[in-house]
């Protein structure tokens, strides 16, 4: 598999602040990226995705930024809430390889009330 790593294994933020979770990837041929949220005892939940022909995508309170030049992906969560506490994974897929995703190591986000 390819190396999909995260800069910070843990992140603590105050409720109401913005959170930024980073992800570095090494495969320049990756063309599709997904962010997942995994709460304790549950399966990964889709948050937002982005394709390599875009550099920014926004959802409800979340924004994903893709910098292909430095192979970096970030997830921004606005006005972080206690319910956002979870482990966040980025997953990447290489172009022309079907739908085979590789996951990064994960960042544990803790929101302090």
Partner 1 sequence: DTEVTQTPKHLVMGMTNKKSLKCEQHMGHRAMYWYKQKAKKPPELMFVYSYEKLSINESVPSRFSPECPNSSLLNLHLHALQPEDSALYLCASSQGWGSGNTIYFGEGSWLTVV
Interface residues with partner 1 (CB under 8 A)? 31-32, 34, 36, 42-46, 49, 51, 89, 91, 93, 95-106
Distance between CA atoms of residues 28 and 43, nearest Å:
28
**Tokens 């022909």 appear where?**
53
Which CB atom, from 18 or from 28, has the smaller least distance to partner 1?
A: 28
* Distance of closest approach, residue 1 Cβ to partner 1, in angstroms: 8
Contact criterion met (CB below 8 Å) for 107 and 9: yes
Q: How far is the CB of 16 from partner 1 (least distance, A)?
A: 27
Least distance from C-beta 103 to partner 1, angstroms?
4
80 vs 93 by CB, closer to partner 1:
93
Nearest of 25, 70, 26, 96 to residue 34 by alpha carbon: 25
Give the C-alpha separation, 36 to 69, whole Å: 23
User: Which one, 46 or 81, has the nearer CB to partner 1?
Assistant: 46
**What's the Cα-to-Cα distance from 52 to each of 2, 29, 75, rounded to whole Å?**
17, 9, 15
18 vs 45, which CB is nearer to partner 1? 45
> Least distance from C-beta 75 to partner 1, angstroms?
15
């Amino acid at each position: 598999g390819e190396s999909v790593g995260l800069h910070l294994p843990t992140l603590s933020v105050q409720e109401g602040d913005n959170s930024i979770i980073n992800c570095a990837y090494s495969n320049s041929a990756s063309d599709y990226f997904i962010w997942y949220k995994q709460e304790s005892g549950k399966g990964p939940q889709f948050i937002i995705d982005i394709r390599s022909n875009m550099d920014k995508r926004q959802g409800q309170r979340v924004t994903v930024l893709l910098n292909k030049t430095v192979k970096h992906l970030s997830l921004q969560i606005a006005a972080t809430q206690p319910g956002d506490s979870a482990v966040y994974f980025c997953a990447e897929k290489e172009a022309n390889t079907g739908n085979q995703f590789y996951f990064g190591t994960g960042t544990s986000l803790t929101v302090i009330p």
